[in-house]
Amino acid sequence: MRRSEQGFTLVEVLVSIVILSIVSFSLLNIFSQSLKTTNDSLNRTIANQVAQNTLHSLDRRASSLEEVLSLTTLTPGGPCPFCAEINGQSFNVDVTEIGPTQSDHTIELEVTVTTDTMSSPVRLKGVISNATLREPFPETAVPESETIK
């Protein structure tokens, strides 16, 4: 028999298996890193939505008040009134007032959302106002000389 018809040697088969396993472990590492990045991105997106929902809830509450705004009058009771659990992940929400207010009818807030798995918190800043600033402007009368006949 000639050498070309004998097939692969045991050493050639073992080398090809080692090379194939190195390539497959590299691909497995890439896929697991991609899955982790996707999960982190999903948690940050949900945290952003929780922060926006908190700010909108406070804004809706403020829109019905006509007295001087304060964070204590807008925040419901309880240890963490805006905290949420979504997809088995708990999102902790902290609402803080930023600096002195320019008016008794507005509050500048910062909403911070954290989880156990996110490396950095999601922060959302906004200004809310009460009902006195939401009143429509009074209609102005049109002079008779400008009316269309």
Looking at residue 66, its pLDDT comes to 77
List of the chain residues with pLDDT < 70: 1-5, 131-149
Provide the H-helix boundaries in 64-141: 71-74
Looking at residue 25, its pLDDT comes to 95
Locus of tokens 């006509």 = 66
Exposed, middle or buried, 55 (CB in 10 Å: 0-12/13-18/19+)? buried
**Domain residue extents for the chain:** 9-133
Widest CA span of the chain, in angstroms?
A: 115
Q: Helix, strand or coil for residue 144?
A: helix
Looking at residue 135, its pLDDT comes to 62
pTM: 0.71
Looking at residue 121, its pLDDT comes to 95
Looking at residue 30, its pLDDT comes to 95
Residue 122 carries which side chain, given as an amino acid letter? V
